[in-house]
Structure 1
Amino acid sequence: MKPAHRSEQGAQGEEPQPLAAPLNAYLDYARVQRRLAPRSLVIYADALLRLQDLAGQSGMALLTLRPHQARSLAAKLHGEIELGPRSMALHLSVWRGLYRWLGAERLVEINPFDGLRAPKAAKPLPKALAVDDAVQLANFSSSSADAAQAVDARLEARDRCMVELLYGCGLRVSELVGLDAQAGPASLGWIDLQAAEATVLGKGSKRRSVPIGAAAMAALVQWLQVRGQLARSDEPALLVGQRGARLGAVQIRASLKARALAAGMPTHVHPHMLRHSFASHILQSSGDLRAVQELLGHAHITTTQIYTQLDFQHLAKIYDAAHPRAKKKQ
């Protein structure tokens, strides 16, 4: 493998700096034994070169690096180079892996980066549609002449069913992909029309049943009336494509994106945004966090609690718009 160097150095006209032999050997190990992707190897090479640079500038020998020196190098990532928490975490992960390998090769006695962690990155709040936008997306119907064609009408019925199940039931895209039109011996998930429920297989192979509301049931029934005209005779999947086979997650994302654009949504819409919208709107209406946890299939209530922040943002906007004391004096 050729010695690695940072692309920005070459762009500035500087001579590419080769990695020291042990670091280059680790990069070869990551390429051959761990089979890292080319992009990952570039990231590893950059992190290793940064370690070499920082240690060299501070007069530290890499093979005798001590924990207090490792902490000093980590501090430089944050203070001098001003890396964010995620980039810091990535660098420290590469450096820990390097010293783990050096230890296995008996080139170092300790891993100075063991136990050293980057500052926690602030978790961004999930993005949810406003209620009116979510309803508009679900109710959207193409008015173009081409939509009158049989196959387009079928796909439109399918896509409306898709949106209603994502937003009306709070499903993950993987759960939607796994739904069969009815229960079968190999089904991961299925629809029970009589009980108005969808049974899905969530994270950790945990099953749960979620109610299907009236609007989603109407869209589901409409789709099932034409599904047989598209689906192969032996295809159990609820949602199928034009070739009659089960829709995959990529196809669902693409269909949802196209529908959202046609419906004039103010932002890019993806399947998980509809799940966020479901949780946020249920919480705004009921205030029952435990119920939202059960409906979403979260193992821990702490995962669901992020929606209380969205709920507070919603209430704060109402307050700012309606309360006379919230308005600034002119």
Structure 2
Amino acid sequence: MGYSRFDPATHGRAPWNIGKTVGTKRPLTQKQIWAIRFFLDREGRLRDRALFDLAIDSKLRGCDLVKIKIGDLVAGPEIRTRAIVVQQKTGRPVQFEPTSDVRASLLAWLERRGGTINDHAFPSRVDQAHHMSTRQYARLVDEWVSAIGLRRQEYGTHSLRRTKASMIYKATGNLRAVQILLGHTKIENTVRYLGVDIEDPLVLAERTEI
């Protein structure tokens, strides 16, 4: 049930979504990814570059991303070529493979950050013993997209989660693979998440000649 126009308590109260863009957040394009990377490198924001790169590559939800520990990312002195994280929402593990550029930015940040394998990779600015909050992560994403001229109302933390998944789907049309990479329990969730409609499989069919 929503607010009723007959309820006096709601008179004069602004709708929660006034001035906000409601719905699926847009994924980033390759050009936008590199624009954000250039901005972060120019500003010398080593932590933010590592966080951004990991968000794109891992395709994790914000609540899982901020809780990653150093031990999840490193094996000895090196960044893992394959990492596994148990999702908070589903309790199921999901794997991802950081690319060489992402491993380099993570290594640069962790060398500066220091700490042990039991410490969070991205600590809270308030209490170093705790991880960065999802609210702080969301604020950073707003700042990054605004810095390259995008409207923050159209982008968010899920934009980073959707970016690589959307690229993989467009390149392969393989929904099952994307479902596994995102850690979705049902393929219907992946269809909704990517915004796939009937035209997409039809386009793939038209491109296939027999």
Same fold (TM > 0.5):
yes
Note if contact 1:280-1:310 (Cα within 8 Å) is conserved in structure 2: no
| Distance in structure 2 (CA, Å) of the matches to 1:310 and 1:137 | 29
Q: Which structure has more RCO (C-alpha within 8 Å, separation ≥ 6)?
A: 2
2:52 matches 1:160: no
Q: CA deviation at 1:7?
A: 3.1
1:221 match:
107
Note if contact 2:82-2:96 (Cα within 8 Å) is conserved in structure 1: yes
Correspondent of 1:263 among 126, 148, 162 = 148
User: Deviations along 1:86-124, whole A, 9 cap, x unmatched?
Assistant: xxxxxxxxxxxxxxxxxxxxxxxxxxxxxxxxxxxxx95
2:96 match:
210
Note if contact 2:81-2:97 (Cα within 8 Å) is conserved in structure 1: yes
Q: Which runs of 5+ in 2 are unaligned?
A: 1-5, 14-21, 204-210
Q: Which runs of 5+ in 1 are unaligned?
A: 12-38, 40-122, 148-152, 183-189, 317-330
2:63 matches 1:177: no
Tell me the SS of whatever aligns to 2:123. Answer: coil
Q: Which amino acid aligns with 2:7?
A: R
| Distance in structure 2 (CA, Å) of the matches to 1:166 and 1:310 | 26
Q: CA deviation at 1:267?
A: 4.1
| Distance in structure 2 (CA, Å) of the matches to 1:165 and 1:131 | 15
TM-score (normalised: structure 2): 0.72
| Distance in structure 2 (CA, Å) of the matches to 1:134 and 1:173 | 18
2:162 matches 1:276: yes
Cα 1:292–1:10, aligned 2, differ >3 Å: closer, same or farther?
closer
Note if contact 1:134-1:277 (Cα within 8 Å) is conserved in structure 2: no
Stretches of 4+ moved more than 4 A in 1?
8-11, 123-126, 310-313
Note if contact 1:180-1:238 (Cα within 8 Å) is conserved in structure 2: yes
1:78 match:
none
Between the two proteins, what is the percent identity of the paired residues? Answer: 24
| Distance in structure 1 (CA, Å) of the matches to 2:175 and 2:190 | 7
Q: CA deviation at 1:9?
A: 9.7
Q: Which amino acid aligns with 1:161?
A: A
Note if contact 1:239-1:247 (Cα within 8 Å) is conserved in structure 2: yes
Note if contact 2:70-2:118 (Cα within 8 Å) is conserved in structure 1: no
1:133 match:
32
Q: CA deviation at 1:195?
A: 3.7
| Distance in structure 2 (CA, Å) of the matches to 1:170 and 1:136 | 19
2:196 match:
309
Query: Max radius of gyration: which structure?
Result: 1
Q: CA deviation at 1:279?
A: 1.3
Q: CA deviation at 1:204?
A: 2.0
Q: CA deviation at 1:296?
A: 0.4
Tell me the SS of whatever aligns to 1:179. Answer: coil
Q: CA deviation at 1:295?
A: 0.7
More helix by share: 1
Correspondent of 1:251 among 136, 146, 160 = 136
1:35 match:
none
Cα 1:10–1:297, aligned 2, differ >3 Å: closer, same or farther?
closer
Q: CA deviation at 1:216?
A: 1.5
Please report the RMSD computed on the Cα atoms of aligned residues, expressed in angstroms.
3.3
